[in-house]
Structures are given as structure tokens and as C-alpha cells.
Amino acid sequence: MIDINEIMKMLPHRYPFLLIDRIIKLELNEYIEAIKNVTYNEPFFQGHFPHIPVMPGVLIVEAMAQNAGILAIKTDDISLDNKVVYFAGIDKCKFRKPVIPGDTLILKANIINHKGPVWKMKCTAFVKDNLVTEAVLTATIANHN
């Protein structure tokens, strides 16, 4: 289990854009699972949509990308002193069900391919046992000088 303090050492994101609360499973070179607790206090609910609050799909995808980035960082044991993981591509994205306040997103990523600094992962998001979003995401690790 990796808590929020360790996550903040790996990701440059901060509130309101840090979208991972805890890593609950990690198998280096294979798989990661994280959670994101969705609360009505999230700033995007003020405008998306005020009377029918729904988490924007693009933010679910961002949460999946952050989770996948942590898997790449941990698998390659990357020093983040001069490196950053960039979201580089999205394929086969589907939104299946809305995510609303009170839901707990269960974010999963499996490595499909890894060549040099480029990673491709199958990512999914669930609420309970219901698949809400899926995509194949690509990330690259680069210098941030």
C-alpha cells in the first residue's frame, strides 16, 4: 500500500489535480491498482453539472494516467530529480457509466508494452464491480530541464 505522501513524491500534481488517493496493489512490471474517492467538494462539480453532478470523463482518464505513471516510475525505479512522466496518447477510450459524488473509483493499469522511455498500458476504472471507463494509454518519460 502506498499512501498520499508517497504518491506526492512521485507525481508533480497537486490539489485540485492530484487524482490518486492511495495505491492498494502493485506488481512491478505488470499491474497497479489505486483508489480515488470522489466527493462533492471537488471543484469541478460546481460547473459539471450543478444539479446533476458528474465527474468529467477527461478527469477519469487523467486519474487512470496518473495511476499508470506511478507503475512506470516504480517499475523502472526512476529518479524524479530530473525526469517527468508525460501523458502521450490515448486509444480505444470508452465511457460506460457516470461517476458521481460518493463513488470510489478503482483504477487499474496493466503494462501492454514498454520500450525505452515509452509505456503503453491497458487502463480501467471501476465503481464497485462496474466498469465505468477503459482506455489504452501511452506515456513517455523525459527530462524536464
User: Per residue in 75-108, pLDDT tens?
Assistant: 988 777 888 899 999 999 999 999 999 999 999 9
Residue 89's pLDDT is 97
Mapping DSSP to helix (H, G, I), strand (E, B) and coil, where does residue 112 land?
strand
- Which CATH number does the domain housing residue 90 bear? 3.10.129.10
pTM: 0.96
DSSP state of 98: -
* pLDDT-derived band at 131, boundaries 50, 70, 90: very high
For residues 66 and 7, what is the distance between their CA atoms, to the nearest angstrom?
10
Q: Which residue has the cell 509505456?
A: 119
CA atoms 33, 49, 92, 144: torsion sign: negative
Which whole number is the average pLDDT over 100-120? 97
Q: Residue 119's Cα: distance from chain center in Å?
A: 14
E strands along the chain, which residues? 22-27, 31-37, 83-95, 104-115, 118-127, 130-143
- Of 48, 51, 114, 144, the catalytic one is 48
Q: Going by C-beta distance under 8 Å and a sequence separation of 6 or more, which residues neighbour residue 124?
A: 64, 107, 108, 109, 131, 133, 134
Q: Which residues pair with 32 in a beta bridge?
A: 26, 109
What type of residue sits at position 73? I
Active site residue 114: no
User: Per residue in 10-64, pLDDT tens?
Assistant: 999 999 999 999 999 999 999 999 999 999 999 999 999 989 999 999 999 999 9
Question: Of the candidates 107, 7, 9, 114, which has an alpha carbon nearest to the alpha carbon of residue 60?
Answer: 107
Range of the domain at 58: 4-143
Residue 82's pLDDT is 83
Domain count, the chain: 1
For residues 106 and 81, what is the distance between their CA atoms, to the nearest angstrom?
29
Residue 80's pLDDT is 78
